[in-house]
Amino acid sequence: MDRKISFPAIGSAVSLGGGHYSVQPAGWSFRQHVHQGCELLYCDEGVLHEWVQGEAVDVSVGQWLVIMPGVTHSTINVSGQAFAYFSVHFDLLDSGMRHEASAAPYIHIRQSTPALRRLFGELKELFGFGAAKQSGISQQLKPVLKAADRLAYQAAFLLILREIWQLSAARGPHAVTGRPAIKPAEIELARTIERLLQDAVLQELSIDAIARELYISRSHLSDVFKKLYGIAPRHYLSLLKMNKAKELIDRGDLSLETIGDRLGYSCAAAFSRQFRRWCGMPPVQYRSRKRADG
């Protein structure tokens, strides 16, 4: 008797952005700012003093902090000692995770686990954080050229995020009061907007057109979507197009002109400019690197 176990296709849950490992002196501070995506912070030495929407959050050695999109925060080292920390920015592409993330401005893991310690140890070995710590300088995460190393970085990051998500679900994230509540009708509308944005990746469907289709203003569309998902619909659509562009380039059977046309760009040059903004390199260079990595 034939037996088959089926499972769904699953796209990437997150899109990894830039990161760094930094050693900072006593009294160092970084201005108040906001990210469109999420930021993951880990304190490796000393105490990382964060102000998150006016609330003081002290991140001690071995602790993790995830700051959600659109949340105002700053770093102020009020202690008399230096500190070292790891930071990486990322975007949530999984709708379920974005919905959960919208419930609170941050997740603070105050007690590490063996799994988190082991995974951060893998990152330290991969990127050589120890050298920066010993020399007292900051460094951007070095380029990972080997495909196996890139996979190791992504795998470790995803497992770290999974551990943090599980711990936050079990212990409950710190919540800041004042975040606007979202009504059931707004949740339904936001999810409808997301479905239409997914459809817009390979269609000539603008955010203005989606608003007209739903008989709402563009500002109301943006407000409702950001309230649930913590990200502007324009930025979310850009992320979808970026990942679809990478997927089509990786296939290798389509010209860059065809890919740009499918994604709604007027010409190859416009697509190339946008891809450079996404990835820091033109699509032809991205394709060459992928082929070289095998």
The 10s digit of each residue's pLDDT in 87-100 is: 999 988 877 777 77
Name the percent of the chain lying above pLDDT 90. Answer: 18
Crossing angle of the two packed helices 233-251 and 283-293, in degrees rounded to 10: 50
Read off the pLDDT band of 2 (50, 70, 90). Answer: low
Give the CA radius of gyration of the chain.
21
CATH 2.30.30.40 fits 14-171, yes or no: no
Most confident of 84-98, 120-134, 175-189: 84-98
Average pLDDT over residues 269-293: 82
* Average pLDDT of the chain, as a whole number: 81
So what's the pLDDT on residue 85?
92
Q: Is the pLDDT of residue 174 over 50?
A: no
Read off the pLDDT band of 214 (50, 70, 90). Answer: very high
Question: Which comes out higher in pLDDT, residue 179 or 64?
Answer: 64
Q: Is the pLDDT of residue 132 over 50?
A: no
How would you list the strands of the sheet with 139-140, edge to edge?
106-109, 64-67, 38-45, 83-92, 14-24, 139-140
Nearest to 228 by CA among 193, 178, 176, 177: 193
The two three-digit tokens of residue 67, written as one number: 């700051």
Backbone conformation region of residue 215, classed left if phi is above 0, alpha if psi is from -120 to 50, else beta: left
DSSP code of residue 36: S
So what's the pLDDT on residue 173?
46
Sign of the dihedral defined by the CA atoms of residues 51, 56, 61, 65, in that order: negative
The two three-digit tokens of residue 61, written as one number: 């050695």
Q: Tell me the domain boundaries of the chain.
A: 14-171, 184-293
Average pLDDT over residues 122-148: 66
What letter represents residue 177's amino acid?
T
So what's the pLDDT on residue 145?
55
Total residues found in the chain within this entry: 294
Spatial neighbors of 293 by CB under 8 A, at least 6 apart, are: 145, 146, 147
Concatenated DSSP letters of 205-266 = --HHHHHHHTTS-HHHHHHHHHHHHSS-HHHHHHHHHHHHHHHHHHH-SS-HHHHHHHTT-S
For residue 188, the Cα-to-chain-centroid distance in whole angstroms is: 24
* 3-class DSSP state of 128: coil
Nearest to 227 by CA among 179, 188, 194: 179
- The residue written with tokens 């950001």 in the block is 226
So what's the pLDDT on residue 281?
84
Name the percent of the chain lying above pLDDT 70. Answer: 85
Task: Give me the CATH topology for the region 184-293.
Answer: Arc Repressor Mutant, subunit A (1.10.10)
So what's the pLDDT on residue 36?
77
The pTM assigned to this predicted structure is 0.67
Q: Is the pLDDT of residue 291 over 60?
A: yes
Most confident of 88-97, 135-144, 182-191, 212-221: 212-221
Q: Is the pLDDT of residue 256 over 90?
A: no
Alpha helices in the chain (DSSP H): 95-101, 114-127, 129-135, 147-171, 184-200, 207-213, 218-229, 233-251, 256-262, 268-279, 283-293
So what's the pLDDT on residue 287?
83
CA dist 184 → 168, 177, 188, 217 (Å): 24, 20, 6, 19
So what's the pLDDT on residue 216?
93
- The residue written with tokens 């490992």 in the block is 21
